[in-house]
Amino acid sequence: MTVRPDPTFHASPKLAMEAPAETLAFTLMLSPDGSQPDGLAVIDVDSSSSDYGKIVHQVIMPNKGDEFHHFGWNACSSALSPLTGHAFLERRYLIIPGIRSSRIYVVDVKNPLKAKIHKIIEPEEVFAKTGYSRPHTIHCGPEGIYVSTLGGGGKDGTDGPPGIFIMDCETFDIIGRWEMDRGVQDKHYDFWWNLPRDYMVSSEWGLPPQFENGIVAEDLLSNKYGHSIHFWDLRGRKNVQTIDLGANHQMALEIRPAHDPVKEYGFCGVVVDTTNLEGAIFTWWREKDGTFNAKKTITIPPVAADPDDLPDLLKGFSAVPPLVTDIDLSLDDKYLYVACWGTGEMHQYDVSDPMKPVLAGKVEIGGIVAKTKHPNGKDFGYGPQMVEISRDGKRVYWTNSLYSTWDDQFYPGEGGAAMVKADVGANGGLTLDKNFWVEFPKGYRSHQIRLEGGDCSTDSFCYPSV
């Protein structure tokens, strides 16, 4: 507990954009075969520093086989709502779940160059207190730290539906399940919310047997992955509406609401349309009567390819699907970044009119067939994946691994870890920074990035931008 609110808490997205730029990034490193423990890399992203683009500290975990994926802060700008009584928390701990082990690490980054493990929550505790497994997305909100999970109980995580549980934001004790009435929701992936409007939106990937040992082609072709988004009464913990995006829209993943809470819309990325291999973005919004609606506003076509250049999984299609695996929205709600992990492209859409996105910029790097090199001449394994935007919207960072077993199916052979950065032009446009290239330790792959002081997929704001 502090005497003044943490200076990295901002009342509105606009104030967050005006705050000093990040000088450090935190990136998760995973060992794809579990031969080494996973870790957290602290990376210098200050372009005036002699260590620019270098890993300046690492926290290596004491266990193997965790498979790090997503992570988040113990506290963010949402603490500035008087309703919750959390104003004097510090943004100090990163909550890092292992989606394969269900173990959760709490890492103290108060002094980032000496970041260290603060607490470890063993999988047995997660299972016993929640009945869920495979913890994934982290957001800090009214009742503490919310953690989404991908699995239910039992060995293969199919004993009951997955859901969200709550952790105490000071002691990091697991409090229990969040849902009181989940309605038809039986799969889970991402979630986010609009705090003053009191609703949450969640999405669906698939159940653990559908992803842990690789993508199950039969399940995909028979549309058995998730294709619905769920809307919830946040404080009431109740599913109030489910929108089926259509069974062909397989894997509705990232949920990105407008940051400005006065706007009642957001986006959801769909990995693949099984009828035509397109990637898609849906815009969802709340009507005046409080009901929700969703419409497809972006489609990205597949690219024809010679079957000889394709992995077994795709040979029969003679095409590379874009595979929209991550999306991220700038704090001014202007640009939506869309990672096309299959084709090897990072798209930048101007979503000033959320119903009519316009492609404003594009970077080509990696890709199943294209294999575009970085401007510095180095190979970029896999394709653009987890993307994070600086608070001021001027810099965009991304890594390349999707998920250990899926990487191997779509990109046979080891692709290694990468993290790159692109600069955003004054009127849009996206250009890779030739001088930013992170060398990761051997045997690791890289996943989600968090930026010092918050970024575009961590902080929730309680006051509009004015």
Partner 1 sequence: MFEIETTAALWGAVVASGVYHGANPGMGWPLAVSAALMERRRLALITALGALAVGHFLAMTAILIPFSTMTALVEWQSEIRIGAGIIVILLGIYLLINRRHPRFLARVPPHRLALWSFLAATAHGAGLMLAPIYLGICAVDELDAGHRAASELMSANIAQAVLVSVTHTLAMTVTGGLAAVVVYFWLGLKFVSRSWFNLDVVWALSLILVGSIGILTAL
Query: Which residues lie near partner 1 (CB under 8 A)?
Result: 1-5, 7, 9-12, 15, 80-88, 142-144, 170, 195-198, 235-236, 261-262, 462-464, 466
Smallest separation (angstroms) from partner 1 to the CB of 213: 39
Smallest separation (angstroms) from partner 1 to the CB of 112: 22
Between 281 and 462, CB nearer to partner 1: 462
Smallest separation (angstroms) from partner 1 to the CB of 348: 28
The total of other beta-carbon atoms located within 10 Å of residue 20's CB is: 11
Between 146 and 398, CB nearer to partner 1: 146
Q: Do residues 38 and 413 lie in contact, with contact meaning Cβ atoms separated by under 8 Å?
A: no
Expressed in angstroms, the distance from the first to the final Cα of the chain is 29
User: How does 149-184 read in b/e, with b if 16+ C-beta sit within 10 Å?
Assistant: bbbbbeeebbeebbbbbbbebeebebeebbbeebee
Looking at residue 195, its amino acid is L
Interatomic CA distance for residues 206 and 325, integer angstroms? 14
Smallest separation (angstroms) from partner 1 to the CB of 197: 8
Between 15 and 30, CB nearer to partner 1: 15
Smallest separation (angstroms) from partner 1 to the CB of 193: 12
Report the residue count for the chain: 466
Maximum pairwise Cα distance, the chain: 63
Smallest separation (angstroms) from partner 1 to the CB of 262: 6
Smallest separation (angstroms) from partner 1 to the CB of 453: 14
**Given the structure tokens 């705090």, which residue do they identify?**
195
Smallest separation (angstroms) from partner 1 to the CB of 260: 10
Task: Report, in angstroms and rounded to the nearest whole number, the Rg of the chain calculated over CA atoms.
Answer: 20
Interatomic CA distance for residues 140 and 8, integer angstroms? 14
Between 167 and 272, CB nearer to partner 1: 167
Alpha carbon distances (Å) from 164 to 111, 159, 426, 437: 30, 15, 39, 36
Interatomic CA distance for residues 344 and 309, integer angstroms? 14
Give the three-class secondary structure for 100. coil
Between 30 and 75, CB nearer to partner 1: 75
Between 285 and 317, CB nearer to partner 1: 285
Interatomic CA distance for residues 452 and 334, integer angstroms? 22
Between 82 and 377, CB nearer to partner 1: 82
Between 3 and 426, CB nearer to partner 1: 3
Interatomic CA distance for residues 162 and 148, integer angstroms? 8
Smallest separation (angstroms) from partner 1 to the CB of 203: 23
Q: Do residues 203 and 253 lie in contact, with contact meaning Cβ atoms separated by under 8 Å?
A: yes
Smallest separation (angstroms) from partner 1 to the CB of 146: 11
Between 45 and 79, CB nearer to partner 1: 79
Smallest separation (angstroms) from partner 1 to the CB of 117: 24
Looking at residue 181, its amino acid is D
Smallest separation (angstroms) from partner 1 to the CB of 89: 10
Interatomic CA distance for residues 120 and 128, integer angstroms? 15
Q: Do residues 210 and 405 lie in contact, with contact meaning Cβ atoms separated by under 8 Å?
A: no
Between 4 and 155, CB nearer to partner 1: 4
User: How does 306-318 read in b/e, with b if 16+ C-beta sit within 10 Å?
Assistant: eeeebeebbeeee
Phi, psi of 287 (to 5 degrees): -80, 170
The total of other beta-carbon atoms located within 10 Å of residue 243's CB is: 19
Between 10 and 103, CB nearer to partner 1: 10
Interatomic CA distance for residues 59 and 117, integer angstroms? 8
DSSP letters, 40-80, are EEEEE--TTSTTTT-EEEEEEEEEE---B---EES--GGGG
Between 19 and 216, CB nearer to partner 1: 19
